Structure 1
Amino acid sequence: MMKMKGSVFFSVFVAMLGLMLLAPITPSLIRELGLREIHSGILISTGSIMMAVMAPIWGNISDARGRKPVILVGFIGMTISTLLLAMTFYFGLHHYISGGPLLFLMIGARSLVGMFIPAILSSSQAYIGDVTEGKERAGGMAIISAANGLGLVLGPAISGIFTWIGLLWPLYFGIAISAAAFAALLLFMPATKPTSQKGAVKVSPFQPGLRFYLLVAFITMTGIVTIQVVGGFYLQDQLGLPSDQLARVVSFGLMFTGIAMLLSQVVQSKWLKWEPRPMILLGSFILVASMLLFLLTAHLPFYYLAFFVFGLGSGFMMTGFMAGASFSVRNEQQGGVAGLVAAMQGISAIIAPILGTTLYQVNHASPMALIAILTALLGAAMLARYRKRPSQCAVDRMEGQEIHAGSEGAQ
């Protein structure tokens, strides 16, 4: 079991690390290539759209073909697409290509990155769903959240270190670690059998027991992306920071968020071992508290505290919605539900940057206030559901089984 969990942790960590390596250098590359800021937004959006579209598809494929083959395909695609992106930037920086052709190749390569990363993320979550049951599943999902947090912490830091050598070196490192991950998992990751059966019912995002957890996923990931996008602007405007100092401050803030996410997973997997609903309820209260800290303080140490508290709340909620969604469907549909959860991440990455920056232009406090309101409403709804239903896991399994039984009867 430890070998399986270790393989999943490594897979998700490398995928998130590769994604975060690109984020810090994109603005600098856009400026060096003589492109406009909107082109950076287009790159991010196209990658997010591909993640949202492909995540459910990869999840269903992993149900039919097995988790390990899809994860390996994901790393092959991630290696090749990152190589193509690095080559495109290299040709642009050396003026071999420019203008429209350069932008077209950049968008194409970035779309390929967004296409293959969900193969790793959705299949890894489904893998945990295959090999765990009951309270152990929540601990398994905590491993995925911990890997996300570690990637969030180390990605920007490693990217910053490699930029001392050259602007494209973070991408070169991303190519190398993706290829190394493929080789390591090919040799050491235990394989699981395909879980789907002939005539198996596909997962619907609107089915009872699942739709609420997808809503939690969307709100949680929207909050995370919003803080990543507008957090720097907010700190600069509130504290009057110069641009060169701002990058360091934001990096430390996001590092505290990642550390807190890791800590929340340790607490959940080692001591609490709670079911999804109490985890989401606790996480929502903590996340609201973090938004209040952002809004009510005017000193840098308290902003760092807000980043840390935000990471705690996000970590509990992330583990909660992953485990809850997994409990709500049958074993042969773990890939499909994992794909839907990963799609929520892609959708939030499309909506949150536009919504967050638009609200920020209206009022600097409004993005944080919106996150606080949405999360508070979510917590209130969860509290009401939790009081009505004593055993969340049993209820979610029963709701999922009722849906499948009805569908099979109709067939």
Structure 2
Amino acid sequence: MNPASNPATPTLDLRPLLLVNMACTMSMMAFVALIGPIARLLNMPTWQAGAAVTVAGVVWVLLARPWGRAADRLGRRRVLLLGCAGFTLAYWALCLFIDGALRWLPGATLAFVGLMLTRGLIGAFYAAIPVGGNALVADHVAPQQRARAMASLGAANAVGLVLGPAVAALLAHHSLSMPFYVMSLLPAAAFVVLLFTFKPQPLPHRHAPSPVRLGDPRLRRPLLVAFTAMLSVTVSQITVGFFALDRLQLASADAAQAAGIALTTVGVALILSQVVLRQLEWPPQKMIRVGASVSALGFAAGALAATAPALWACFFVAAAGMGFVFPAFSALAANAMEASEQGATAGSVSAAQGMGAVIGPLAGTLVYAVDPRLPFLAVAALLLVVGLWPSHADQHR
């Protein structure tokens, strides 16, 4: 039996999924962009601010596979609606807590507990969104077209990655609370659109869902690539600001600006590369090989950057390669599995990404302490090994 050999369903409308992905990513990134000044005002130590960011990733890892099993039992649309509604309510709670904390300035411990709880809830419901979206694509898009469809979802995330910090910084001139109030409207609007415009999509298979083990041999390569890709991105995100301070010898304000521009170029490169990808018919394995090699080149060159523009150019190249890798591992996993396993498979891939997002910041800062260039060089070497490692099974159908 050919895995996941479902006929293509041309009536599948991806636009509501694109909106949900963009809205939730924008909201998540707004918090990341503002946590520094908020933590300073609330007298929170740096590690507490970092923990408040990381907790969403930890919960994402823990709940991605349960959401995948739920998507198999309840259907993709219902899981997407539950995830978007829960994300909206959790974000409103975060918004109200931050506004109250900035008004009344509670102790650092109380602020830390409140941020951990609300961010944990956000991560719990956000985990359902990539799982439901990827499973839906695997259900209703032919294997040859899955990478292109998943690239569209990746481009929507990249738009949110770019716009979230930019809008948050613009609105923060009025107050640190205003960005959260504005951003809280986005997932609510996305939920309404999803509810009224996204028609129920019956599962193309009638048999009972099948469980999927994390150690399933068919998933080893896509899960390893998913973990490595997210690890690489988060390592670069956490170290770029320090690199601008220590290697480029920039003042604090200039280093912050250089890091912000570098991360903006990442979002732009992800958008452009995934738009280009939609015009290609490359199989997932080729996308991983080419994308990982290009990204490794960008990171390795970034370690040698001596000026801010050079660093921005290197980050652009690295992110352009990543734009090929991210949709490829999702398509590779979907193509390797049976139709009854797609929800659990999407949950496993999402969990691998989440694990990379959790380990990346810690590993990046530890390695950076040895040498500022080492995180970029280590990521480049890891991408080359994982991307070029020969596959024994032809999984790009």
Displacement, 1:194?
Answer: 4.5
Cα deviation code 1:327-376 (max 9, x no counterpart) = 11122222211111111222112111111001111111111111011111
| Alignment partner of 1:280 is 2:288 | yes
- The answer as to 2:366 corresponding to 1:358 is yes
Please report how far the alpha carbon of residue 198 of structure 1 lies from its aligned counterpart in structure 2 after TM superposition: 6.0
What letter is aligned with 2:289?
L
C-alpha contact (below 8 Å) 2:30/2:168 kept by paired residues: yes
Q: How far did residue 377 of structure 1 move?
A: 0.9
Matches of 2:112 and 2:246, distance apart in 1: 32
Identify the residue that residue 35 of structure 2 maps to in structure 1.
26
Alignment-mate amino acid for residue 381 of structure 2: I
In the alignment, the residues of structure 2 paired with residue 3 and residue 127 of structure 1 have an alpha-carbon distance, to the nearest angstrom, of 9
Separation of aligned partners in 1, 2:379 and 2:110: 39
Give the match for residue 173 of structure 1.
Answer: 182
Residue deviations 1:14-62 (CA, integer Å, cap 9, x gap) = 1211111110001111111111111112212221110101111111111
Task: Specify which of 48, 58, 72 is matched with residue 67 of structure 2.
Answer: 58
Aligned partners of 1:263 and 1:96: how far apart in 2? 43
CA–CA distance in structure 1, aligned partners of residues 285 and 367 of structure 2? 30
User: Quick one: which of 387, 390, 395 aligns to 1:392?
Assistant: 395
Q: 1:371 aligns with which of 379, 382, 385?
A: 379
Helix, strand or coil: the match of 2:202?
Answer: coil
Residues 293, 387 of structure 2: 8 Å contact kept = yes
Residue in 1 that maps onto 2:5: none
| TM-score, length basis structure 2 | 0.93
Match of 1:362, SS state, is: coil
**Letter in structure 1 aligned against 2:24:** A
For the pair 1:140 / 2:143, whether they are aligned, the reply is no
SS at match of 2:318: helix
User: Shift of the alpha carbon at 1:101?
Assistant: 3.2
Deviation at 1:95, TM superposition (A): 2.0
| Separation of aligned partners in 2, 1:97 and 1:302 | 43
Gaps of 5+ in 2: 1-9
How has the CA–CA distance of structure 1 residues 292 and 99 changed in structure 2, closer, same or farther, with 3 Å as cutoff? closer
Distance 1:392 1:346, change over 3 A: closer
2:336/2:395 contact within 8 Å kept: no
Q: Is the 8 A contact 2:26 2:160 kept in 1?
A: yes
Query: Is residue 2:89 matched to residue 1:80?
Result: yes
User: Structure 2 counterpart of 1:81, which letter?
Assistant: A
CA RMSD of aligned residues (A): 1.7
Q: CA deviation at 1:299?
A: 2.2
Counterpart among 349, 358, 364 of residue 357 in structure 2: 349
What is the deviation of 1:178?
A: 0.9
TM-score w.r.t. length of structure 1: 0.90
Say if 2:20 is the partner of 1:11: yes
Question: Which is helix-richer, 1 or 2?
Answer: 1
Give how far 1:199 is off: 4.8
Name 1:269's counterpart in structure 2.
278
Q: Match of 2:103, as an amino acid?
A: H
- Are the equivalent residues in 1 in contact too, given 2:207–2:340 (CA < 8 A)? no
Q: Which moved more, 1:281-290 or 1:2-11?
A: 2-11
Is the contact between residue 21 and residue 171 of structure 1 (CA under 8 Å) also seen in structure 2?
Answer: yes
- Counting matched residue pairs gives 388
Contact 1:64 1:195 (8 Å CA) reproduced: no
Q: Secondary structure of the equivalent of 1:209? A: helix
Q: Is the 8 A contact 1:15 1:121 kept in 2?
A: no
Deviations 1:159-180 (A, max 9, x none): 1111112102221122111111
Aligned partners of 1:191, 1:207: CA distance in 2, in Å?
30
Equivalent-residue separation in structure 1 for 2:204 and 2:86 (angstroms): 24
Output the CA distance in 2 between the equivalents of 1:228 and 1:109. Answer: 23
Provide the rounded CA distance (Å) in 2 between the counterparts of 1:31 and 1:300. 27
Alpha-carbon separation, structure 2, partners of 1:56 and 1:195: 21
TM-superposed CA distance for 1:221, in Å, is 0.4
Give the superposition deviation at 1:197. 5.7
Deviations 1:288-320 (A, max 9, x none): 110121122312222111011011111111011
1:241-287 C-alpha deviation (Å, 9 max, x unpaired)? 122222222222111111111111122111x2211100000011101
Structure-to-structure mapping, 1:148-297, within 5 angstroms: 148-194=157-203, 199-270=208-279, 272-297=280-305
What amino acid is the match of 2:291? G
Gaps of 5+ in 1: 395-411
Is residue 117 of structure 2 the alignment partner of residue 108 of structure 1?
yes
Does 2:375 correspond to 1:328?
no
Q: Give 1:120's aligned residue.
A: 129
CA drift of 1:3 comes to 5.9
**Cα displacement (A) at 1:113:** 0.6
Superposed displacement of residue 209, structure 1: 2.1
Contact 2:273 2:323 in 1 (8 A): yes
Q: Specify whether residues 253 and 200 from structure 1 end up closer, same or farther in structure 2 by C-alpha distance, changes over 3 A only.
A: same
On the 8 A contact 1:153/1:255 being kept in 2, the answer is yes
- SS in structure 2 at match of 1:193: coil
